[in-house]
Structure 1
């Protein structure tokens, strides 16, 4: 894999991070600032961003193209998410965002990809920007959905029982940081996984060790899973999508991939590491 490690001088470039307060974006901001890069963070609520003091936090909403002009001024690289902040819907204004990025001098971009390509990817395909798409299997942070059941009854209840090679959000950010600051990653699609494929029952056991008390995994029926998802306030189409995902896992879900180590030259973080870092979220 090509990786020249010839980054531009950190003092001469500004990197814009969208989704800067999210599970991946926050790690990316911290990693870039730790290595001396000038970082600008886009936030709809800058006063609540709680980012390092050296970060230039600017107000803007990716779904509102007219709010982004200042954010892109002087930027040479950008990390993009593809969904709106309010409801998580795919962005429809990719053409306007990418054209603004081009006019502002952006030459590199990373995209945190989802299930399908969006207007952002479509616009980048016809742009002068060199871009890299990050395709994580499943965030380890999805495990936080189990917190209420663990806090209230020391139990994890879900329909899915298949193994998933869940990936640490800091590793997704680390791949983005390399692609944004080093040559050789343009035009690449990077599927990302953790170092092991774990079933929900196996993750439950690892969490039990991290929180320091016994936890039980309970496999649900489809009807019970529907009740659980509805209780969380999910609309009916999301409920049925959840059922389909739990009963028909993606083919790549359990695939352990070497991409993170190849790109970052560091081993991918384990779920046990993530569980130790987030143990307090599962304690009552």
Structure 2
């Protein structure tokens, strides 16, 4: 029988946190154990004005390509009663979620917000120039992800559906199977399979889709042009764009959740503290003093 260290055992008991940290293009959001929320980074559009939120069970933050100067600044909170709150830039009505109810998961893309309902249907508000909000006919969905111009839905049978811009084949997921989690970036899409391997489609100019060799993965996060994988032993790996050091995660340990922004990467540790690497020009990596971030099971 293989030896399992107390650290590994603790990681298994805690299982894996989900949607308790979020990384936007220039800001970072954390959900605390008491249901309150904190945020650091760029607040030009009020995207960090979350201090009055309460009873939150999941958070999401918009994350877009580096070259985009607007439309990347809103934050979403899912409340315990299934309603949704939003702050930040709202030119395309991406924050008009006050009427939503019975929501069990949220995702944020460029200038839009996606909500998954308990019945498996999906709602969306915001920019729809590429059909990225055309999710009204979806059903049996168990998870959603939003890239810049495309939206991904994971179905209960482990297959995947997609709408929106497909210029770089980031929506070519119809043949995927046995998927348990999905993530979407600027122009690429990543799927985590039941066996702990990963698959990716879309733009691969910087190697952000080179994840086929990964094993033992329990969670994935996708930034603008980089992909991050959390392993079952609490360590982390990353591929893709690393100009700001956002892929320098090889020394991380005891991690239970990951989030990827445009130029930075966030990790939630087993003790509720947070680590970060990457671009910090707006203070989006100033999370070293954070503690008591919520640990939730999948």
* TM-score when normalising by structure 2: 0.30
* TM-score when normalising by structure 1: 0.31
When you count helix as a share of all residues, which structure comes out higher? 1
When you count strand as a share of all residues, which structure comes out higher? 2
Q: Which has the larger radius of gyration?
A: 1
